[in-house]
Chain A
Amino acid sequence: MKKLFPVALAILAVSGQLAAQSSQSAKPVRGNPPGEWRYWAADAWSTRYSPLDQINAANFDSLKTAWQWNAGEFGDDEYYRATPLYANGRLFTVATTRRMAMAIDPATGKTLWNWKLDEGIRWQKAPRQFAGRGLAYWTDGSNERVVVITPGYHLASLNAKTGKPDPSFGTNGVVDLMEGLGLQLVPLAVDDSGPLIISDAAPYRQAKPGEKWDPVKKIGADGTRGVLGQIANSSPAIIVNDVIIVGNSSIHGYYPIRYSNLPGYIRGFDIKTGKQLWKFNLVPQPGEFGAETWTNGSKVGSEGVGKNDAWAPYTADPELGLVYIPVGMPLLDEYGGHRPGANLFGNSIVAIDVKTGQRKWHYQMVHHDIWDYDTPMAPNLLDVTVNGQPRKVLAATTKQGWVYTFDRATGEPIWPIVETQVLQSEVPGEQTWPTQPIPSKPAPYSQQGLVEADLIDYTPAIKDSALKLAQKCRMGPYFIPAADATAKTGYRCSWYSPGASGGVNIDGGAAVDPETGTMFVASITGLSTIQVQKDPCSEFRYSSPRDNCGLIGALPAPAGYVKQAGTQGDGFSNRASFSRIGGVSILKPKEYGGITAYNMNSGDKTWWTSNGGMIPVTSNDPLFAGVKLPPQPGSGQAQVISTKTLVIYGTGRSTTHLRGGNARLFAVDKATGKQVGSVKIPSPTTAVPMTFMHQGKQYIVFAVGQGTGTSLVALTLPR
């Protein structure tokens, strides 16, 4: 008791202070009053940091479920991707494939209001039909708004108190985001009653004159209008200095069958009126800066042009008046023969002035991407001291396993990023970029490519077997280009590490500690293979192996075509099957994936921990007889936040050893990475958690579940 007494006093002091601050809407820090969580990643800097400490190492294990809010009651979803916001005494979230906006009582988990928009066939054929990652909050001190972007690409501003659309915003509270892009809106119709197939297949089309809706067959024109082409949204807007920053996502980049697709745009809208203030083209149009990086031209609608969509959440520095956009990749993930050039602003961080929409700086982290290395996560901002100098930095975590660190005012790299020669593609038509930028610091957090030193070598026989298997596919240190699966000579596959899931991906990403300048990167690591070949009914010369013949929108099958066995959409189905012997990965276990902590003052790695502990490895293969195999790190993207003393994480939906009834939420000492607590939860987290103080109690809230089983779970300390 003597030991606990000072801790208890500290808890009371901090909780009392922050409870008072919350109720009075304490002065925002980085756009967020301490103890609240007003942005997707806590604050405008995307720190995912809370100064709260009521929940700490001494009591983490005693956390109890305060309530579980049933999102599935309102409808289906994919896996539940949302991280709620807490602002001025209410929780806000999105739910269901319709992306309903919701307000919840933080103390009881009761629904306060809900809102949704009927989007007709624009929703039916939306490429990203899920709840999304969240929404945005704004207040001027008296008025409060919740802003949501729907799957059918509308922007709605709702009264945060009532859920009613703001009548002074757009048309009855809604802005049609398909307007203002410079593209024509037309009446839309569908030929089938299903959703968009995850490619360009079975899309909506322009309605014919007089075409009506058939309510029985559920085809035809239902009265909705929109642009032709796929444009979607996955992540919330960010509101900076009264400007709503809106981007878009697109169709998944591994399945398109048409040579062009809509590009990515970033736009600014006035929070009070919904008026579009500016538009920035993520595929620079002829005459704009960067257009020359598209050797065959960059005009929207022309062959090879599309995507560069910024589908991840965004980060901002309100004082600098800059928003930082993590940009996705150009059209077709694994083949770019149709778009020679570096393809700006693909795979870049672009800093945009929120007042003017003008580019302040940019940095392209992958040139001419053919690895599906979209920038998947909002970059993190920190103020640190580098070589004795105070620096305002931006640190971008990526699928490719590196942190890219810049001066966030100028874009100047904090540590040298070296253009390094990389392997070149042998696939006909592909023009790989000769170099890629490799950060000199910090060290990577995920496996990079595959070289001989990476292979298991517990015995000479094991080493020999691993090397033989490794040499079946193209090896290299990083950025190994895909091989032609049908090649008559040379490689027919390449090693792929990090793969398309990262490194960091949308389920994971980093939290930072603004007090110490530490960054906590949650990522995965691994090894798979990659190949391309001709899809007989696609316009592309190569893609990941796939057969789209017979789908609406696909090219007619070539003469003599016979459908091969295999299902549409299984172009990745062999990727991970060939990196194991007797169930054992040929890759040596390393301190990669999991959570890596970096001191961003020095760029040095400070600690590493596996996602949910280490997993024993055994094999019945005689090759491993008598060999004690080292354990391997837990799989899956951990989902991290940081507090005054802790890094708190869920293991994510892809973890293999803590599923079902074994799911847990973990806490580690943020200074050392040592586990200090864990608590059972209903099922693995499916999105990044958040924390807040409400009526004197600290809560941790996170999403779980999929399909009809989605919910938010709130943990707090027992009274």
Chain B
Amino acid sequence: MLLWAGTICMFFPLRDAAAQSAHRKVSDSLTTRSGVYTSPQAGRGRDVYMGNCRNCHTPETHTGATFKTVWNKRSLADLYAFVRERMPKNDPGTLSDEEYADVVAYLLRMNKMPAGKRELAPDSAALAKIRIKLP
């Protein structure tokens, strides 16, 4: 699917930071196994997901091999930007930055990434330092 997105990105010289950030280099020191979100945040993200995402995507489509194929080893900033700029369907960008971060936290919980003591901040620079590391 990113092949398609890539085709379009070349087709359209996008100015969006997110589109230009694909596969940015990420250090190995901080990963999604380090407890980068909190359990209450994932709970909030679940509510946002139920209200805005589930109608088109069931959780099964965001876990397991499907999720891993696309996102493993990439930065959380890429995932955050993807969701923030392209979702929800037909109304992209209509959630708050905090809600998008909460949804990312819920996606991590769905993929059995551990919760920690600090919330995932809606900060692209900070998220760029976290690598998605799936089992």
Contact = CB atoms under 8 A, between A and B. Distances in A.
A197 B47 contact: no
Interface string A650-670: 000111100110000000000
Interface in B1-26: 1-5, 7-8, 11-12, 14-16, 19
Interface in A541-585: 545-547, 550, 563-570, 572-578, 581-582
A77 B46 CA distance: 11
Given A78-B55, A197-B58, A573-B86, A565 B3 contact: yes
Interface string A439-471: 000000000000000000000000000000100
Contact of A576 (B43, B48, B93): B93
A196 B60 CA distance: 9
Interface residues of A, number: 60
A79 B69 CA distance: 30
B1 A577 contact: no
Contact of B58 (A195, A550, A575, A660): A195
Given A565-B2, A573-B5, A577-B16, A198 B93 contact: no
A547 B92 contact: no
Nearest to A468: B13
B11 A492 contact: yes
Given A198-B55, A566-B70, A567-B62, A500 B2 contact: no
A471 to B, nearest CB: 12
A78 B96 contact: no
B1 A550 contact: no
B86 A574 contact: yes
B87 interface: yes
B52 interface: yes
Which of A252, A568, A660 counts the most chain B CB atoms within 10 A?
Answer: A568
Given A472-B12, A565-B2, A568-B66, A707 B7 contact: no
Contacts of B48: 706-707
Given A563-B69, A575-B92, A198 B11 contact: no
B11 A566 contact: no
A340 interface: no
A709 interface: yes
B86 A581 contact: no
A707 B69 contact: no
B91 A635 contact: yes
B1 A708 contact: no
A498 B56 CA distance: 20
Given A550-B66, A707-B46, A198 B92 contact: no
Nearest to B15: A582
Nearest to A80: B51
Contacts of B2: 564-566
A574 B8 contact: yes
Contacts of A581: 15
B112 interface: no
B80 interface: no
A653 B47 CA distance: 13
Given A194-B60, A565-B2, A582-B15, A78 B50 contact: yes
A538 interface: no
Interface string A401-443: 0000000000000000000000000000000000000000000
> What secondary structure prevails in chain B residues at the interface with A?
helix
B1 A198 contact: no
A582 B16 CA distance: 8
Given A569-B56, A636-B94, A550 B50 contact: no
B4 A79 contact: no
B4 A564 contact: yes
B50 A197 contact: no
Nearest to A621: B15
A604 B49 CA distance: 41
A568 B60 CA distance: 10
A17 B73 CA distance: 69
Contacts of B47: 705-709
Nearest to B57: A569
Given A564-B1, A582-B15, A660 B56 contact: no
B61 A568 contact: yes
B94 A550 contact: no
A532 B5 CA distance: 13
A485 interface: yes
A186 B41 CA distance: 43
A654 B94 contact: yes
Interface string B50-82: 111011111111100111011000000000001
A582 B17 CA distance: 11
Which of B1, B2, B14, B96 counts the most chain A CB atoms within 10 A?
Answer: B1
A197 to B, nearest CB: 5
B119 interface: no
Nearest to A197: B58
Contact of B14 (A130, A550, A577): A577
B51 A78 contact: yes
A309 interface: no
B89 interface: yes
A708 B48 CA distance: 10
Contacts of B43: 708
A669 to B, nearest CB: 28
B95 to A, nearest CB: 8
Nearest to A572: B89
A420 to B, nearest CB: 25
Interface in A683-701: 686
Contacts of B52: 79, 653, 706
A577 B92 contact: yes
A656 B52 CA distance: 14
B82 A573 contact: yes
A552 B26 CA distance: 35
A565 B68 CA distance: 10
A533 interface: yes
Interface string A53-85: 000000000000000000000001111000000
Given A194-B58, A501-B91, A547-B1, A565 B46 contact: no
Rank and list the top 10 A-B pairs by shortest CB-CB distance, nearest first.
Answer: A566-B1, A706-B51, A707-B47, A565-B2, A707-B50, A79-B51, A573-B86, A501-B90, A569-B57, A572-B89
Given A196-B58, A492-B11, A635-B94, 8 more contacts: A78-B51, A252-B56, A546-B1, A565-B70, A570-B86, A653-B51, A659-B95, A707-B46
30 contacts: A78-B55, A194-B58, A194-B59, A195-B58, A195-B60, A197-B61, A252-B55, A469-B12, A472-B11, A492-B8, A492-B11, A500-B89, A545-B1, A563-B69, A565-B3, A565-B69, A567-B61, A568-B66, A572-B86, A573-B86, A576-B90, A578-B8, A578-B12, A578-B14, A654-B94, A656-B94, A706-B47, A707-B46, A707-B48, A708-B46
Interface of B: 1-5, 7-8, 11-12, 14-16, 19, 43, 46-52, 54-62, 65-67, 69-70, 82, 85-96
Interface of A: 76-79, 130, 192, 194-198, 202, 252, 255, 469, 472, 485, 492-493, 499-501, 528, 533, 545-547, 550, 563-570, 572-578, 581-582, 621, 635-636, 653-656, 659-660, 686, 705-709
